Amino acid sequence: MFYREAGQFKTSYDADSQIFPIRQDRIGVALMLAVAFVVVPLVATPYVFSAILIPFLIFALAALGLNILTGYAGQISLGTAAFMAVGAFASYNFVLRIPGIPLLVAFVLGGLCAAAVGILFGLPSLRIRGFYLAASTLATQFFVVWCLTKIPWLTNNSSSGVITAQKLEMFGYAFESPASKYLLVLCIVLVLALAAKNMVRCSIGRSWMAIRDMDVAAEVIGFRPMRTKLTAFAISSFYCGVAGALYAYAYLGTVEPEAYNLDLSFRILFMVMIGGMGSILGSFLGAAFIILLPIFLSQFAHGFGLPNSIASNLEAMVFGALIIFFLIVEPHGLARLWQIGKEKLRLWPFPH
């Protein structure tokens, strides 16, 4: 009844090709942004900021990056955490070695370094497909983490490889309170998400999807597989790199290379799968789900007063079972559920 596009006519090409063609969507998005920018900072507690909201946004960004590669371009990667690590440690070194460099520039440069590493490790994708590729992206994962632990220059000669991220300072303002960090991360994530949304709607996104659906056919009709796959790797790694830098600067503060281990890669892959492959919104939904689930589970376990060792194992079991459950119930992810809901809403309350 309320969610219907009847009567909304497009009179120009610009209007026809806008991101949210339906007025209700635009209102919804504006409301969400208002809530995110105004209401949340007013009501949320520091715990909510630093334990839920900031990691949620950062992981959503990383999931977005992986979604570009896996969901849109169809290349499975298990090395996401490695690209995040490159972004984080590169940013750290840029800030450390170039005095007076603006932090935002350092983040971008860190992202670009991650993109370069992404291109390098994306090269095998030109020959290898499917699970062979997935298993070989593990090479990235182990190699990058090994490099960071073994080459002291990268971690500024810290003995255990632990780095302490510099102060989060931009335009002469120090982002110290959780709320300000949250707003900073929110801005960065929003800009990048908007860019991603536009990218997948234009020619580059179409070429990714063509390669994903059938690369031989795409090649025949004139897409260059090399350029397409490598841009996917580069852009995906850039997103992951920025996410990794934010993970170090805005969330953890002190990081060791081991923080970017295989587990993290899998978690981000879960976010993409649960949220929905090939969906920008899905990355956010998936990240929210994977962040919130363990928190709920541990609250639940504490509610029953279970001892820690049992609780953590039970959590792992329930987590695994829920993943399987979700895959069985909705293999296309939460984004598909949202879409189905929208379809229903259009007909409601007169479905015939």
Partner 1 sequence: MQFFLEVLLGGLLSGVMYALVALGYVLIFKASGVFNYAQGAMVFFAALTCVGFSEMGMSLWLAAPLTMLVMVALALATERIVLRPLVNQNEITLFMATIGLTFFIEGLAQLVWGSQVHPLELGIEDVPLQWMLDRTGIAVSQFDLIAALICAILVAALAVLFSKTKIGRALRAVADDHQAAQAVGIPLQYIWAVVWTVAGFVALVAGLLWGSRNGVQFALTFVALKALPVLILGGFTSVPGAIVGGLIIGASEKLAEVYLGPMVGGGIEGWFPYVLALGFLLVRPEGLFGEKIIRRV
Binding site for partner 1 (CB under 8 A): 70, 76, 124, 127-132, 134-136, 138-139, 142-143, 146, 149-151, 214, 216-217, 220, 262, 266, 269-270, 273, 277, 309-310, 313-317, 319-324, 327-328, 331
* Rounded Cα distance, 92 and 112, in Å: 13
C-beta separation of 168 from 233 below 8 A:
no
Tell me how far, at minimum, the Cβ of 70 lies from partner 1, in Å.
8
Residue with smaller CB distance to partner 1, 47 or 266: 266
Cis peptide bond upstream of 257, omega within 30: no
Instruction: Please give the C-alpha separations between residue 225 and each of 117, 210, 218, 219, 229, in angstroms, as whole numbers.
Output: 19, 10, 8, 6, 6
Residue with smaller CB distance to partner 1, 146 or 348: 146
Tell me how far, at minimum, the Cβ of 217 lies from partner 1, in Å.
4
80-100 CB burial, b ≥16 within 10 A, e <16: bbbbbbbbbbbbbbbbeeeee
* Rounded Cα distance, 242 and 68, in Å: 14
Residue with smaller CB distance to partner 1, 40 or 138: 138
Tell me how far, at minimum, the Cβ of 263 lies from partner 1, in Å.
10
Tell me how far, at minimum, the Cβ of 334 lies from partner 1, in Å.
14
Nearest CA to 261 among 161, 124, 122? 161
Residue with smaller CB distance to partner 1, 217 or 295: 217
C-beta separation of 125 from 75 below 8 A:
yes
Residue with smaller CB distance to partner 1, 27 or 324: 324
Annotate 86-150 with DSSP letters as a single string: HHHHHHHHHHHHSTT--HHHHHHHHHHHHHHHHHHHHGGGGT--HHHHHHHHHHHHHHHHHHHHH
Instruction: Please give the C-alpha separations between residue 13 and each of 10, 16, 29, 194, in angstroms, as whole numbers.
Output: 8, 5, 22, 20
Q: Give the chain's end-to-end CA distance (angstroms, integer).
A: 13
Tell me how far, at minimum, the Cβ of 96 lies from partner 1, in Å.
22
Tell me how far, at minimum, the Cβ of 227 lies from partner 1, in Å.
19
Tell me how far, at minimum, the Cβ of 91 lies from partner 1, in Å.
23
Residue type, 302: H
Q: Which two tokens stand for residue 144?
A: 């990058």
Residue with smaller CB distance to partner 1, 50 or 140: 140
Residue with smaller CB distance to partner 1, 127 or 352: 127
Which residues have CB under 8 Å from 56's CB, separation 6+?
Answer: 287, 288, 291
Give the CA dihedral 23, 26, 31, 35, nearest 10 degrees. Answer: 170
* Rounded Cα distance, 137 and 226, in Å: 17
Tell me how far, at minimum, the Cβ of 219 lies from partner 1, in Å.
9
Residue with smaller CB distance to partner 1, 202 or 324: 324
Residue with smaller CB distance to partner 1, 141 or 237: 141
Tell me how far, at minimum, the Cβ of 132 lies from partner 1, in Å.
5
